[in-house]
A and B are shown apart, each in its own frame.
Chain A
Amino acid sequence: MSFLDVRNIDVSYGDVQVIFDLSLKIEEGEVVSIIGGNGSGKSTLLRTISGLMQAESGEISFIGKPIHKMPPEDIVEAGLIHVPEGRRLFSLMTVLDNLIIGAHNSRARGKAKVAETLAKVYELLPRLQERQNQMALTLSGGEQQMVAIGRGLMAQPKLLMLDEPSLGLAPILIKSIFETVRKIANQGTTVLLVEQDVKHSLSLSDRGYVLEHGRIALEGPASQLLNDPHIKTAYLGI
Chain B
Amino acid sequence: MTRKTLERCAPLALLALALALPLAVQSATYMHILIVLLFYAYLTTSWNLVGGFAGVLPLGHSAFLGIGAYTSTILSLQYGISPWLGMIVGGVLAMIVGVLIGLPTFKMRGAYFALATIAFAEGFRVMVENIDKIGPFALNGPRGLQIPPLGFGLGKMLFADKEPYYYIILVMLVVVLMLTAFISRSKLGYYLNAGGEEPEAAMALGINVARAKLIAMAMSSFLTALAGTFYAQLNLYIHPKSVISLDLSFEIAFIALIGGRGSIAGPVLGAMLLRPVSDFSRIYFGDTLPGLHLIIFGVILILVMTFQPRGLQEPLTRLYHWVIDRLSSDRRTA
Interface residues of A (CB under 8 A from B): 50, 52, 71-73, 75-77, 81-84, 88-93, 97, 101-102, 104-105, 148, 151-152, 155
Contact = CB atoms under 8 A, between A and B. Distances in A.
Contacts of B205: 76, 81, 101-102, 104-105, 151-152, 155
Given A84-B201, A93-B194, 20 more contacts: A50-B204, A52-B203, A72-B203, A72-B206, A73-B203, A73-B206, A75-B206, A81-B205, A88-B201, A90-B193, A90-B194, A90-B198, A90-B202, A101-B190, A101-B194, A102-B205, A104-B191, A104-B205, A104-B206, A151-B205
Contact of B207 (A73, A75, A84, A92): A73
7 contacts: A50-B204, A52-B203, A72-B203, A76-B206, A84-B200, A104-B207, A105-B206
B208 interface: yes
Nearest to B195: A90
Q: Which 4 A-B pairs have the closest CB atoms?
A: A76-B206, A88-B201, A82-B204, A88-B198
Contacts of B204: 50, 52, 72, 76, 81-84
Given A90-B193, A90-B194, A155 B206 contact: yes
Given A97-B190, A101-B190, A77 B197 contact: no
A86 B197 CA distance: 14
Given A72-B206, A151-B205, A92 B200 contact: no
A83 B205 CA distance: 8
Interface residues of B, number: 16
A93 B193 contact: yes
Contacts of A152: 205
B203 A92 contact: no
Q: Is the interface of B mostly helix, strand, loop or mixed?
A: helix
Contacts of B208: 71, 73
A165 to B, nearest CB: 14
Interface of B: 187, 190-191, 193-194, 197-198, 200-208
A8 B286 CA distance: 69
Contacts of A102: 205
Nearest to B200: A84
Nearest to A151: B205
Nearest to A88: B201
Contacts of A91: 197
A84 B200 CA distance: 8
A81 B201 CA distance: 10
A75 B207 CA distance: 11
Nearest to A154: B205
A82 B204 CA distance: 6
Contact of B200 (A52, A93, A97, A151): A52
Nearest to B197: A90
Most buried by B among A71, A91, A97, A101: A101
A93 B200 CA distance: 16
B284 to A, nearest CB: 40
Nearest to A71: B208
A72 B210 CA distance: 12
Nearest to B204: A82
Most buried by A among B191, B193, B204: B204
A118 to B, nearest CB: 15
A101 B208 CA distance: 12
A197 to B, nearest CB: 22
A183 B16 CA distance: 58
A104 B206 CA distance: 7
Nearest to A106: B206
